[in-house]
Homo-oligomer: A and B are copies of this chain.
Amino acid sequence: MLLRNLMPRNVWYVAAWSSQLVAGEPLGRRICGQSLVLYRAGDGSPAALEDRCIHRGMPLSNGGEVDGDLIRCPYHGLEFDASGVCVRMPGQQHVPDATRIRSFRVVERDAMIWVWPGDQTLADPEGIPKHPHHTDPDWQWTSIFLEIACNWEMLNDNLLDLTHLGYVHKRTIGGDPNAHAGAEMKTTQTGNSVHVRRWIPNSEPPPHYKAGHAFAGKIDRWQEIDFVPGLLRLYTGGMDVGTGAYDGRRTGGVQFMGMHGVTPSTATSCYYFFSQARNFRLHEPDLEAKLHDNALATLLEDKSVLEAQQARLLEEPGRGNIDMRTDAGGLHARRIIERLYQGTIFPS
């Protein structure tokens, strides 16, 4: 069954790009069905509270004021600190004990705001997936944020089966569909992670590769995907045929480290945090803009497909389906998510 409602809460999810969380401006998100307000405390550190005032249910993100470490309800002015404790009720001297809203562990790392929506006693920042490319001066990156009207597992499936590139993205990053379909693929699962390796030797470079590098002719391509719940990293690239792509000497050509934060919002919507880092032709604004535009066009192709797919699945949500050989990675991911949701495994 493709459509299910499994949003495990004991996971670190990307809630925002660091750049989206501006000092003085509360930001509303809904993660695993939980409404959150994010804001920066006086020292700039992120805070995450339930986005619902205990008094009359008002969303704090809807015009709430940040004042030092506090956030003030936009309706009647109740004030909460970054741990969710109510520190002031206008019109009365005394705030009853234990008057508070829920707070959530939130960590800023690798230019992202990470939130743990589940059992707060289990939140360990050591478990946040690493993505050093956002802070490594040898790489340059651009980012995109989208809300997609589909269940988050469909976006996971999408990213773990790149054979869709030849069809969905034939006008952008796709290249020759048959080359993709014929790729040598190897899928492995370890704990909560899935690794999918696809090599496409001796193939025509797609348009955005050509824009990045002057290839001699055909290239050896690779697509290597690492999945953990909430985050996929796609290391892709191509080099001139026979110059080392498949034997550990990846120093030239075109190399991209793509990061895909996939955060469940509701049963039928998710957030998509995408970044693309490259290690070639840095500091070229025109290229930067071109790559960004191309990435956005590509992601909007996915969005269109995913939303059409979601709408059709909702017509008969319990309907079965068949899998293909290329679904191996996605099926591993689905099993991990199911066990995580049931509490039989735990994210590293």
Contact partner of A76 (CB less than 8 A), chosen from B75, B76, B154, B164, is B164
Q: Interface size of A by Cβ–Cβ distance < 8 Å?
A: 57
Nearest CB of chain B from residue A102's CB, rounded to whole Å: 12
Contact assessment for A92 and B325 in the assembled complex, using a CB-CB cutoff below 8 Å: yes
Contact assessment for A305 and B58 in the assembled complex, using a CB-CB cutoff below 8 Å: yes
**Contact A58 B157, CB 8 Å, known A74-B167, A167-B75, A324-B89:** no
Contact partner of A51 (CB less than 8 A), chosen from B74, B91, B312, is B312
Chain A 285-309: CB-based contact to B (< 8 A → 1; otherwise 0):
0000000000000000000110011
For A89, list chain B residues within 8 Å (CB). Answer: 324-325
For A21, list chain B residues within 8 Å (CB). Answer: none
Question: Which of A134-142, A269-277, A313-321 lies at the interface with chain B?
Answer: A313-321
Contact assessment for A2 and B57 in the assembled complex, using a CB-CB cutoff below 8 Å: yes
Which B-chain residue is minimally distant from A65 (CB atoms)? B167
Measured in the bound complex, the distance between the Cα atoms of B52 and A3 in whole Å is 14
Question: Which residues of chain A have a CB within 8 Å of any CB of chain B?
Answer: 2-3, 33, 35, 51-52, 54-59, 62-63, 72-78, 89-92, 96, 99, 154, 157, 161, 163-164, 166-168, 177-178, 180-183, 185, 304-305, 308-309, 311-313, 315, 319, 321-326
